[in-house]
Amino acid sequence: MREEVSEKKNLIKQALAMTMREHRGVQSLFKFSSENDIPLSIVSEAERGQKDPQLTTIFKMAEAYSLSPGDFVEQIAAKLPEGFSMIDK
User: What are the phi and psi torsion angles at 48 (to 5°)?
Assistant: -100, 5
Task: Report pLDDT digits (tens) over 36-48.
Answer: 999 999 999 999 9
* pLDDT tens string 9-24: 999 999 999 999 999 9
For position 40, what pLDDT does the model report? 96
Domains of the chain by start residue, with CATH: 2-78 (1.10.260.40)
Residue 71 has φ and ψ, to the nearest 5°, of -65, -40
The residues near 73 (Cβ < 8 Å, ≥ 6 apart) are 58, 62
The Cα 75–Cα 31 span in angstroms is: 23
Model pTM score: 0.90
50-83 pLDDT tens trace: 999 999 999 999 999 999 999 999 999 999 999 9
